[in-house]
Structure 1
């Protein structure tokens, strides 16, 4: 059994041996691609994936290790920033982003009943951008609150607060939708 280096170790090694960064890419490219595709679509993910890792390569000297040893929350943070820039360039005059940066075709694949899609869309749209991102990072990407905090460049306490508010707001929207459809 080989002891594979943690992401933190790979990033540290990459400062002297840049090829170590390739191992980090191999480890996380698929997850980062999926993260981007859910927010901006597959075509944008094709374009942005390389940009994420170029930005990460350039920023690796500023990387702060996480207790999990995973760089994925950091990569998600970089990805989220690039997706925001991409969406702003795509829709520069939009005052309100009603699409919430989610690839709804991917949502359809993950949700059992197509009818629930509109309810989920309403619930996610009702959340603030900060609440929605915290919710998606933990519920969809499977990050812990501390990993989500790293991706969002905030504290775990702030993420927990955002999650609590997101759940309350989503429950209220879903309850209203259930009452009107009954």
Structure 2
């Protein structure tokens, strides 16, 4: 009986930790100049570099390691490496920062999608790693079928399911 109580309490604590509703804490804010002349955080490249190290990692719901990771977990660990604590779910991540116009998206921003039956309910997130001269957005994310991979927002599947973008840094 004691084993089951311990197991239940451990699982409850784990689940509470995975779905934190705290706003992200910004521990650092370093800025540098980009070729566009706009000031952007120096940490953007660190966040992207971390995310790219997970490319090819298998998808695992609730995962945050290279053995398996989900989309919000990829954002969580990538920003954590730069000293920024994000909520653990894509929905909470989408609510924690100010939305920006798609035309304003730049490297390091998050893009959110409704991939389920409810076309307004955010259920997926990706990290912008490039914005082409043609303003197409390249992002890294974790999919159930392909694991951590990169895609263009202009692809029909993502274009139809795009909901919003936010700026963290």
Question: TM-score interval w.r.t. the shorter chain?
Answer: under 0.3
Pick the structure with more strand per residue. 2
Pick the structure with more helix per residue. 1
State the TM-score, normalizing by the size of structure 1. 0.25
Larger radius of gyration: 1
